[in-house]
Amino acid sequence: MKKIKQKHRSMSIRSRIFIYFLLFTALLLVLLWLFQIVFLDVFYRMQKTDGVQKASESIARNIEHEEIETLIDRLGQENGVCILVTDEKMNTVYSSDTTFGCIIHHLNPRDLRRMTEHLDQDGDTDYSTFPMTGFPSSKYDDRKFDGHVPPPDTGSAKSLISVRRVTLSDGSVRFVFLNTLITPVTSTVQTIRNELFFITGILVLLSFLLSWLLSRHISRPIAETTVAARELSVGEYHPVHSRVSYREIDELNGQLEQAAKDLHRVEEMQRELIANISHDLRTPLTLIEGYVEVMRDLPGENTTENMQVVIDETKRLSTLVNAVLDYSKGKNGKEELHLSRFSLTKSIRGIIERYGKLIEQDGYRILFSPQRDAMVLADELQVSQVVYNLVNNALTYTGEDKTVTIEQTIRENKIRIEIKDSGEGIEPDELPFIWSRYYRGQKPHKRPTVGTGLGLNIAQGILEKHGMEYGVESTVGQGSNFWFELPETDESTSHLQITGGQDE
């Protein structure tokens, strides 16, 4: 049975934003219910205990102040506590009874002394809690009544007593008693619970609405860009100018637009390359076929001149094929560097000599007057190919004087080779693309040559593989200057560099 693979469909960004926002809202609601309902009693007790402790410390620090009674009354009123300050014999020194249900003012001296037995040092504090008796639960049963009636009194209210030992400057001892009532928060919890029901409903409704709006607001420009990006398959892209946009989306639109332009330019170059190669291949093939048929069918036509035509056209075919193969090998990284020490000056002279026949027949001149020989460490065959491609390019586009100048300068142990023509030059907007594959200048050729648009791109690959600096300078109407630099080497340094390369 043939298995059909189903394409995995991941969740959309709109759905993710919607779900994440709802989960965030749910988490906030859970935390709100926990801290307002479940842990409310715990925080309430902690707050009451902390208030008693701070009030006790304030009294201890100011117990010898002349206005201590005013401070005691204010602390009692602020914190909801009753305060009693006694001496060692449990005689009252200061007192503040402003709260309901105070215990310490109704205890006898013996009970007060018992609470201070464990306080041996100055600053010691002890806390005690006592349950408060409420409405007798045995006399009340809420189940006997109808309607909304209060629950039985569980007697959960407690009285918290704090006692602290304080030693005065004269050596006498004072005991600071504080008492507060910790009441149950049942009614408060019920009130908060009722409010939370409304708050929860409102937040859930708002979260649905906001998450839907936000997800739509954020995902819309992304979806629009995705739809527009599908046009890249046909080499076109029209950026989306939405009312709702973001910097990242704008940058993505810019990159996609540039990619569409590059794809369109490459496609045009490829079509031009195919047209050029088809034309250049058809001409020599037609000539070869015609001359071979003539030499086969007509006696006496098997002459040296006719054979030379066939040989020349075959060489033209080889030039085209080799250019494409060289480009392919350079891009695939299959062509390795074979470093050797050689004279770059002599290599350039040899290339000029190979152009001798062209110079003689068509009137072209290649000028080269180096000051001295320059030795380099590089791949001689590949560097020669760079020079050949640059010279061939200069001969193709040079001016009416049919002159190409090669200059060799040496400065700070760097050899700079400049190949200049006197043609029409290159427009500034074309300069960034002249090293691109398939690219051919828009200026008309001064010389009918077989061109593939790969020569400069092949030269660029070789130069970058050697780590050489290179570039082009061009002025419209005056010509172009292609240059590259590589370090000069001597016998000792070349030996070290070659050895190091082999070890690696």
User: Among candidates 400, 407, 25, 446, which has minimal Cα distance to 203?
Assistant: 25
CATH code, domain with 417? 3.30.565.10
DSSP 3-state of 121? coil
Residues 383 and 460 in one domain: yes
Residues 320 and 382 in one domain: no
Residues 360 and 448 in one domain: yes
φ, ψ at 129 (rounded to 5°): -125, 145
Residue 3 lies in a domain: no
Q: How far apart are CA 430 and CA 441, in angstroms?
A: 8
Residue whose tokens read 């989960």: 23
Residues 50 and 192 in one domain: yes
Q: What pLDDT, on a 0 to 100 scale, did the predictor assign at position 447?
A: 45
Residues 465 and 422 in one domain: yes
Residue 67 lies in a domain: no
Q: What pLDDT, on a 0 to 100 scale, did the predictor assign at position 278?
A: 65
Query: Could you tell me the residue range of the domain that residue 28 belongs to?
Result: 12-61+185-232
Residues 178 and 189 in one domain: no
Residue 418 lies in a domain: yes
Residue 390 lies in a domain: yes
Domain end: 295, 329, 363, which one?
329
Residues 199 and 255 in one domain: no
Q: What pLDDT, on a 0 to 100 scale, did the predictor assign at position 152?
A: 66
Residues 384 and 432 in one domain: yes
Q: What pLDDT, on a 0 to 100 scale, did the predictor assign at position 499?
A: 40
Residues 197 and 285 in one domain: no
Q: What is the DSSP letter of 374?
A: -
- Is there a contact between 81 and 52 (Cβ–Cβ < 8 Å)? yes
Distances 39 to 35, 42, 43, 52, 93 between C-alpha atoms, Å: 5, 5, 6, 20, 39
Q: What pLDDT, on a 0 to 100 scale, did the predictor assign at position 133?
A: 60
Residues 272 and 357 in one domain: no
CA 409 from chain center: how many Å?
45
φ, ψ at 400 (rounded to 5°): -65, -25
Sequence-distant (≥ 6) Cβ neighbours of residue 136 within 8 angstroms = 153
Residue 453 lies in a domain: yes
Residues 351 and 498 in one domain: yes
Domain end: 329, 357, 387, which one?
329
Residue 240 lies in a domain: no
Question: Could you give the number of structural domains in the chain?
Answer: 4
pLDDT tens for the chain, residues 1 to 504: 444 444 455 667 777 777 887 888 888 888 888 887 777 778 888 888 888 899 999 999 999 999 999 999 999 888 889 999 999 999 999 998 877 778 888 889 998 999 888 888 877 888 888 776 655 555 677 777 877 776 666 556 788 899 999 999 888 999 999 998 887 766 677 777 788 888 888 888 888 888 788 777 777 777 777 777 777 766 666 666 655 567 777 777 777 777 777 777 777 767 766 765 665 566 567 767 877 888 888 877 778 877 877 776 787 677 667 766 665 565 555 567 789 999 999 999 988 887 776 666 678 889 998 989 999 999 888 898 889 889 888 988 888 888 999 999 999 899 999 999 999 988 888 888 788 755 555 554 444 444 455 678 778 888 988 899 999 999 888 899 999 999 998 765 544 444 434 333
HSE value, Cβ hemisphere, 13 Å, CA-based, for 157: 13
CATH code, domain with 174? 3.30.450.20
Domain end: 289, 314, 329, which one?
329
CATH code, domain with 314? 1.10.287.130
Residue whose tokens read 């117990």: 63
Query: Where does residue 438 fall: left (phi above 0), alpha (psi -120 to 50 degrees), or beta otherwise?
Result: left
Q: What pLDDT, on a 0 to 100 scale, did the predictor assign at position 448?
A: 45
Residue 239 lies in a domain: no
Residues 213 and 264 in one domain: no
Q: List, in sequence order, every residue forming a beta bridge with 16; answer none if it has no partner.
A: none
Query: What pTM was estimated for this model as a whole?
Result: 0.42
Residue 292 lies in a domain: yes
